[in-house]
């Protein structure tokens, strides 16, 4: 687990550095905005696919814990899912990418299809490694995925490459699964690992997890796209939207990237401690909110100075909004943790309901507040990103509370 801790910290820092390098490598008025949107689109789309990781982790861990052996194969599911993802990415790219990367549309579509198809198989391997507790191999996958982007971003900056290179950098890490299987005998030995359910049930649960992780991804990494839609670019708001989008991406990375990478470990923890679920929940939630409080103070006090020193002046955000966005990331982290708990207890309907509630509440606030209350870009983003995820976490906790008598009865019987 120590290796996974180091890998998740490295992943968070790498994302920060890549965004920083891009801000100085790309023109702020056009290329940087397109890169932000493409980055947001790819990782939001990959977030849907992360449902495969979560359910595979749960199924492998449960099979090991309970000695069950179902007939499901995550690789068969991945092959079908990859075909579906390829079609959706191609069609979606043709329809929407003209506004995201109009200068490189064909290249952007091709890279998006490659990256998302590859990420399907990376998601399966991530779930298998986590469920089998091969933490060193999983840590290597996380670190190499992020490290490839970091190194190539530095090369692109040094060489003076433009937007096309950064589009490729966005997706290239999704091929890391091939490297891990190539160099790790332990990983290859788990290719035919047992799951605890049959194929039909596994597909049903994966679909539920995909819906939920997709809703979470739209909140975690897809917010810049939604903000662009809620505040169409014009001389009065374009720069403010770009600055807030960058601030959202930067303040999420230190809190949420490590937590996302630890989700698989949390699934295993909650599966093993399902009869003490509230006790198991308390520590990680308290930890992430504590990080949020510390992050608020750090962002408020030193965030503006860091932005002035490291980023172009067009992307500056003041200390208080920067701190509040950081704490909002911690609230999102609490939603991730409650969602992981209900998933581990196989409360898939509540899992989906919580994430959908959080997503709907966030984007409803994002689009309604400017018209109803006249809030600006920063205030709207802070309110939406704070109260939306809180609504989703409360739905998850309600699901745990309502299912507790059933679990107690089942245990007694």
**What pLDDT was estimated at residue 413?**
34
Kindly indicate the confidence band of residue 3, based on its pLDDT and cuts at 50, 70 and 90: confident
Region 48-60 average pLDDT = 92
Helices (H), 101-162: 105-131, 135-159
SS3 sequence of 320-351: HHHHHHHHHHHHHHHHHHHHHHHHHCCCHHHH
11-25, 114-128, 266-280: which has the minimum mean pLDDT? 266-280
Average pLDDT taken over every residue of the chain: 87
Under 8 Å between Cβ of 284 and 263: no
The CA distance from 211 to 221, in Å, is 15
304: closest CA among 292, 291, 316, 314? 316
DSSP one-letter code for 133 = T
Instruction: Return the domain boundaries, the chain.
Output: 2-402
Residue 235 has pLDDT above 80, yes or no: no
Q: Note the pLDDT of residue 404.
A: 67
Q: Which of residues 4 and 156 earns the better pLDDT score?
A: 156
390 or 232, which is more confident: 390
CA nearest to 116, candidates 207, 65, 189, 41: 41
Number of residues in the chain: 413
pLDDT category at 328 given cuts 50, 70, 90 is: very high
Residue 105 near residue 98 (C-beta atoms within 8 A): yes
Task: List Cβ<8 Å contacts ≥24 apart for 13-16.
Answer: 14/146, 14/147, 14/149, 14/150, 15/146, 15/149, 15/249, 15/253, 15/257, 16/250, 16/253, 16/254
Q: Higher confidence at residue 275 or residue 138? A: 138
Q: pLDDT value at position 1?
A: 64
What integer pLDDT is reported at residue 412 of this predicted model?
A: 42
Q: What is the pTM of this model?
A: 0.79
Confidence band, pLDDT 50/70/90 cuts, at residue 407: low
Please, which residues have CB within 8 angstroms of residue 399's CB and are 6 or more apart in sequence? 342, 347, 349, 350, 351, 353, 354
Per-residue pLDDT for 51 more than 50?
yes
Average pLDDT score over residue span 177-194: 93
Q: Which two tokens stand for residue 309?
A: 């020193």
CA distances from 382 to 167, 220, 232, 291 (A): 28, 13, 18, 17
Selected residue with higher pLDDT from 175 and 223: 175
Burial label for 97, CB within 10 Å (0-12, 13-18, 19+), is buried
Give just the sign of the alpha carbon dihedral 234, 239, 242, 247. negative
- Cβ-in-10-Å burial (0-12, 13-18, 19+) of 172 comes to middle
The pLDDT value recorded for residue 185 is 94
């Amino acid at each position: 687990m120590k290796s996974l801790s180091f890998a998740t910290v490295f992943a968070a820092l790498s994302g920060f550095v890549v965004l920083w390098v891009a801000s100085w490598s790309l023109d702020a008025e056009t290329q940087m905005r397109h890169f932000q949107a493409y980055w947001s689109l790819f990782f939001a789309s990959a977030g849907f696919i992360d449902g495969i990781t979560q359910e595979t982790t749960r199924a492998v861990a449960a099979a090991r814990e309970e000695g069950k052996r179902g007939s499901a194969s995550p690789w068969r599911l991945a092959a079908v899912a990859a075909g579906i993802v390829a079609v959706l990415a191609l069609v979606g790219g043709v329809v929407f990418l003209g506004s995201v990367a109009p200068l490189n549309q064909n290249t952007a579509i091709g890279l998006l299809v490659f990256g998302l198809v590859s990420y399907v198989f990376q998601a399966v391997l991530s779930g298998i490694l986590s469920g089998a507790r091969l933490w060193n191999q999983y840590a290597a996958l996380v670190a190499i995925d992020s490290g490839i982007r970091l190194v190539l971003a530095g090369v692109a900056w040094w060489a003076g490459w433009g937007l096309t290179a950064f589009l490729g950098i966005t997706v290239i890490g999704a091929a890391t699964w091939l490297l891990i299987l190539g160099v790790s005998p332990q990983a290859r030995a788990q290719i035919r690992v047992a799951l605890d359910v049959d194929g039909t049930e596994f597909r049903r649960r994966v679909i539920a997890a995909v819906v939920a992780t997709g809703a979470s991804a739209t909140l975690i990494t897809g917010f810049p796209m939604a903000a662009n839609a809620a505040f169409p670019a014009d001389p009065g708001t374009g720069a403010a939207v770009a600055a807030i989008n960058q601030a959202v991406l930067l303040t999420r990375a230190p809190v949420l990237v490590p937590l996302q990478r630890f989700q698989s470990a949390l699934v295993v923890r909650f599966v093993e401690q399902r009869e003490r679920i509230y006790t198991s929940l308390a520590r990680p939630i308290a930890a992430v909110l504590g990080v949020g409080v510390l992050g608020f103070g750090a962002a408020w006090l030193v965030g503006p100075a860091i932005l002035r020193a490291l980023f172009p002046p067009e992307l500056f955000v003041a200390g208080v909004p920067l701190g509040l966005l950081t704490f909002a990331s911690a609230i999102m982290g609490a939603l991730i943790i409650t969602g992981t708990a209900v998933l581990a207890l196989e409360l898939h309907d509540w899992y989906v309901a919580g994430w959908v509630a959080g997503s709907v509440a966030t984007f409803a606030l994002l689009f309604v507040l400017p018209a109803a209350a006249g809030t600006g870009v920063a205030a709207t983003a802070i309110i939406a990103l704070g109260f939306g995820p809180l609504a989703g976490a409360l739905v998850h906790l309600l699901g745990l509370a309502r299912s507790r008598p059933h679990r107690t009865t089942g245990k007694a019987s």
